[in-house]
Amino acid sequence: MRVKKCNKLVRDRIPEIIEKSGMRPVIETLSDEAYKQYLHDKLGEEMQEYLESENVDELADLVEVIYALLDYKDMNINDFEDLRKKKAVERGAFSKRLLLKEVVEE
Look at residue 95 and tell me if it is in a domain. no
* Mean of the per-residue pLDDT values of the chain: 96
Is the pTM value of this prediction over 0.95?
no
Look at residue 20 and tell me if it is in a domain. no
Residue 75, domain extent: 30-90
Stretch 14-22: mean pLDDT, rounded?
A: 97
Residue 10: its pLDDT value, please? 97
Look at residue 73 and tell me if it is in a domain. yes
CB distance 17 to 27 below 8 Å: no
Instruction: Give percent above pLDDT 70 in the chain.
Output: 100
Element (H, E) at 77: helix 77-91
Look at residue 65 and tell me if it is in a domain. yes
> At 62, which amino acid appears?
L
Buried b (16+ CB within 10 A) or exposed e, 61-83: bbeebeebbeeeeeeeeeeeeee
For residue 9, give every residue at least 6 positions away whose Cβ sits within 8 Å of its Cβ, in sequence order, or none: 30, 35, 38, 39, 41, 42
CB distance 42 to 65 below 8 Å: yes
How confident is residue 17, by pLDDT bands cut at 50, 70 and 90? very high
What total of structural domains would you count in the chain? 1
